[in-house]
Amino acid sequence: MSNRFIIVGRGLCGTWLSYWLQKAGADIVVMDEAKANTASRVASGIINPVTGRRMAKTWMADELMECAHHAYDEMGLLLDASLINATSILDFFSAPDRRLSFEKRALQFEEFLNWPEDEHDQLHLFNYPFGYGIVSPAYMVDVQTMLEKWRSVLQLKDQLVEERLDLSFLTTKDDAVVYKNIHADKIIFCDGIQSMQLPYFSLLPFAINKGEALIVQIPGLPVDKVYKKTNTITAWKDDLFWVGSSYDREYKDEYPSQAFYDQTKAWLQQFLKIPFNIVDHIAALRPTTVERRPFVGLHPSHPSIGILNGMGTKGVSLAPYFAKQFADHLLQQQTILPQVDVKQYRRVLQR
> Same structural domain for residues 149 and 282?
no
> Same structural domain for residues 201 and 294?
yes
Please compute the mean of the pLDDT values over residues 123-146 and round it to a whole number: 96
Last residue of a domain, one of 261, 286, 311: 286
> Same structural domain for residues 242 and 337?
no
pLDDT at 37: 62
> Same structural domain for residues 258 and 274?
yes
Task: Tell me the sheet residues that pair with 227.
Answer: 90, 233
In a domain, 241, yes or no: yes
Q: What is the CATH number of the domain that holds 238?
A: 3.30.9.10
User: What is the C-alpha separation between 218 and 274, in angstroms, rounded?
Assistant: 7
Q: What range does the domain containing 179 cover?
A: 5-42+145-206+290-349
Residue 77 CA: distances (Å) to CA of 24, 104, 150, 186, 199: 17, 40, 12, 29, 39
> Same structural domain for residues 221 and 198?
no
> Same structural domain for residues 216 and 282?
yes
User: What is the C-alpha separation between 244 and 230, in angstroms, rounded?
Assistant: 9
Is the pLDDT at 2 greater than 60, yes or no?
no
User: What is the C-alpha separation between 238 and 299, in angstroms, rounded?
Assistant: 42
DSSP string spanning 90-117?
EEE-SSHHHHHHHHHHHHH-TTTEE--S
> Same structural domain for residues 159 and 282?
no
CB 253 within 8 A of CB 226: no
In a domain, 344, yes or no: yes
> Same structural domain for residues 225 and 247?
yes
User: What is the C-alpha separation between 197 and 6, in angstroms, rounded?
Assistant: 18
In a domain, 276, yes or no: yes
In a domain, 111, yes or no: no
User: What is the C-alpha separation between 78 and 23, in angstroms, rounded?
Assistant: 11
> Same structural domain for residues 149 and 281?
no
> Same structural domain for residues 153 and 166?
yes
**What tens digit of pLDDT does each residue of 49-106 get?**
998 777 888 999 999 999 999 999 999 999 999 999 999 999 999 999 999 999 999 9
Last residue of a domain, one of 262, 286, 310: 286
Last residue of a domain, one of 237, 263, 286: 286
In a domain, 77, yes or no: no
pLDDT at 308: 97
pLDDT at 39: 66
User: How are beta strands 28-31 and 209-217 bridged, if at all?
Assistant: unpaired
> Same structural domain for residues 217 and 323?
no
Is the pLDDT at 1 greater than 50, yes or no?
no
User: How are beta strands 132-141 and 46-47 bridged, if at all?
Assistant: antiparallel
**Total domain count, the chain:** 2
**What tens digit of pLDDT does each residue of 260-316 get?**
999 999 999 999 999 999 999 999 888 888 888 999 999 999 999 999 999 988 999
CB 286 within 8 A of CB 211: yes
In a domain, 199, yes or no: yes
In a domain, 235, yes or no: yes
Is the pLDDT at 202 greater than 60, yes or no?
yes
> Same structural domain for residues 237 and 259?
yes
pLDDT at 36: 62
pLDDT-above-70 percentage for the chain: 97
Question: What value does the CA radius of gyration of the chain take, rounded to a whole number of Å?
Answer: 21
